[in-house]
Amino acid sequence: MSKRTWQPAVLLTLIPAIAIAAWPQDPHAHRPAIPANPAWSESAAAMDKMHAAMSRVEPSGDRDVDFVELMLPHHEAAIAMAKTQLAYGKDPQMRRLAQEIITDQQSEIALMHLWRKEHRSSPGK
């Protein structure tokens, strides 16, 4: 076989192989399905909601107000994540911690709402 006759044969073999390798692939096509994890999904949703709420807070020029406005969604997310722990967690210590987080964070949220209400109605503020 001369040099000129085998070159087209090599090209005819390589071109489809290169085209297939360069073809866009679905990155999930050959991965095994990951079972749904509701505990993780619920915690991630709580964090996403928290980040969205915190990113909407505009600086007020009053550090105390800004602190409260940022901490409220943070505490609400902590409660949501702790409730998820109670729903899915098994370890007694972590379940007890989750319950304490819920109680403490709810109390702190009530305090922040009260402070915010009083702060807005105070003369000169």
| Number of domains within the chain | 1
Domain interval for residue 58? 36-120
In a domain, 104, yes or no: yes
In a domain, 54, yes or no: yes
In a domain, 62, yes or no: yes
Residue 27 pLDDT greater than 60, yes or no: no
Q: Is 1 helix (H, G, I), strand (E, B) or coil?
A: coil
In a domain, 41, yes or no: yes
In a domain, 22, yes or no: no
In a domain, 25, yes or no: no
In a domain, 8, yes or no: no
Render pLDDT for 45-97 as a digit per residue (tens, 0 to 9). 999 999 999 999 999 999 999 999 999 999 999 999 999 999 999 999 999 99
Establish how many alpha carbons lie within 13 A of residue 77's alpha carbon, considering only the half-sphere containing its beta carbon: 17
In a domain, 97, yes or no: yes
Residue 8 banded pLDDT, cuts 50, 70, 90: low
Residue 36: the pLDDT is 79
